[in-house]
A and B are shown apart, each in its own frame.
Chain A
Amino acid sequence: MKSAPFTYYDPTSVPELVDLLANAEDAKILAGGQSLMPMMNMRFLMPDDVIDINGVHELNFIERENGHLKFGAMTRQKEVLGSNTVANAAPIFGEALRYVGHIQTRTRGTIGGSLCHLDPSAELPAIASLYGAEMKIANADGERTVSMDDWALAYMTPNISPEDVLVDITFPLWGQNHGYAFEEFARRHGDFAITAVGTLLELDQNQIITKVAIVVAGADVTPTRLYDVEKDLIGQIANEGTFADAANHASEIEAMTDAYVTATYRQRLAKTLTNRALISATERAKEKQND
């Protein structure tokens, strides 16, 4: 179980990096290595060139400005989890990141790596979908922006080419009083989720839902926003009956069957977890109102 030989590059700036990418035949970007290195050790991947971006320090930052939270692609999962800026602006990151691997993988694993790897069960792409995040991509010809709805093309296939690098990810923030919840079911702590549900929600003074987003990860091949369920919830009173209907609706999601888990089981999880997430997000929104 050793990686096949490759040529190693360690650029220190984005211009140097995109130049290397433009001239490489068969290169892989190495970020945290927590998904790429296993695949190279097992020789599922044998790139000619490995371009290590750990030394491109301009890709490592967390910024909050004008109602947005922006992360450099190389920001480590541990840094996101430990950031007070993130905890204040978007506390759902803290709740979801505890499920991402283990302490030894979060010290290396990055937010950009998770979005590019795009495992169907991964928590960070689910949060990106929940917020409608925007990905900034660079290559030798310039930059472009891709929204999360156009990012996940298919099973583990992000909308990015071999000569591109994901530079940063921007999350439009919700109101200070929003409620949030991330509910996940896995066989063991730190395993990839069988299914997970994330929710953001805002209420008015009469407990009427004014804004809501729901995402299901792990059920289908890419994270799925429940836009129809969200639309039905707007204008409704946030109570158990409303949420039971929404959860039933959530169970109609497209789901995959694999060697371990059937589609029906994933749909039932989507239902249960949607219900729990909506209840918990509502409780948190009410607490904020009462603060």
Chain B
Amino acid sequence: MTDKRDIQFTLNGKHYAEAVETRFSLADMLREQLDMTGTHLGCEHGVCGACTVLCDGEPVRACLMLGVQANGKEIITIEGLADGDELSPIQAAFRKHHGLQCGYCTPGFLTTLTAFLRDHPDPTEREIREAISGNICRCTGYQNIVAAALDAAEAMRAA
């Protein structure tokens, strides 16, 4: 018998009421049940960071949270970062600096850096590297990701 729970939460500003299988991770609920496939799964055991979403503003691993634990929370995924067609500063900086190649890791980097730059508007390069130490990218070699984060921080300070 499957154990299900009725939960309510906000996802990218929109209110949801869902019956969720309790064993579903938050990432599974987003991808399988809500068809929000922007959140990627690389390892499903907490190591790669691809699944990072914001839960009440904090970056969390969506593969290590249960879907039912989203009850009463405000979740932001990669789909919620842009304002309509206008990219967020960190998204725009990733495009400008080629901070992605295949793009698999990118949702996790962008959500992580969105929260980090909000809390640390003037970070050093070292602090940025520490902040993204929990995200693995197999393509870019990180240089362009770090450059994009520094540039986005500057753009956000100027705005």
The chain A residues found within 8 Å of chain B, CB to CB, are 1-8, 10, 30, 33-34, 37-38, 41-42, 50, 52, 54, 78, 98, 101-105, 107-108, 188-190
Indicate if the CB atoms of A37 and B63 lie closer than 8 Å. Answer: yes
Complex interface: chain B residues within 8 A of A54 (CB): 69
Question: Is B64 positioned at the interface, with any CB of A under 8 Å from its CB?
Answer: yes
Decide: A37 near B64, CB < 8 A? Known: A1-B45, A107-B58: yes
Q: How far is the CA of A243 from the CA of B68 in the complex (A)?
A: 52
Beta-carbon contact of A37 and B46 below 8 Å: yes
Contact of A104 among B23, B44, B66, B112 (CB under 8 A): B112
Contact for A105 among B21, B23, B69, B134, CB less than 8 A: B134
Expressed in whole angstroms, the Cα–Cα distance for A54 and B70 within the complex equals: 11
The prevalent SS among residues of A at the interface is loop
Q: In the complex, given contacts A6-B22, A37-B63, what are 10 additional A-B residue pairs having Cβ atoms less than 8 angstroms apart?
A: A2-B28, A3-B25, A33-B65, A38-B46, A41-B44, A103-B59, A105-B64, A107-B55, A188-B133, A189-B130
- List B residues at the A interface (Cβ < 8 Å): 2-3, 5, 21-25, 28, 44-46, 49, 52, 55, 58-61, 63-66, 68-69, 112, 115-116, 129-131, 133-135
B61 near A108 with CB under 8 A, answer yes
**Distance in Å: Cβ of A106 to nearest Cβ of chain B:** 9
Do A108 and B22 have beta carbons less than 8 Å apart?
no
Q: Complex Cα distance A98/B130, Å?
A: 9
What is the bound-complex CA distance between A4 and B135, given in angstroms? 27
- Hey, which chain A residues are within 8 Å of B63, CB to CB? 37, 41
Is the Cβ of B131 less than 8 Å from the Cβ of A4? no
- Bound CA span A8–B63, Å: 17
Nearest 6 CB-CB pairings of A with B: A102-B134, A38-B45, A8-B22, A1-B44, A37-B64, A107-B58
Complex interface: chain A residues within 8 A of B52 (CB): 104
User: Which residues of the partner chain B approach A102 to less than 8 Å between Cβ atoms?
Assistant: 49, 133-135
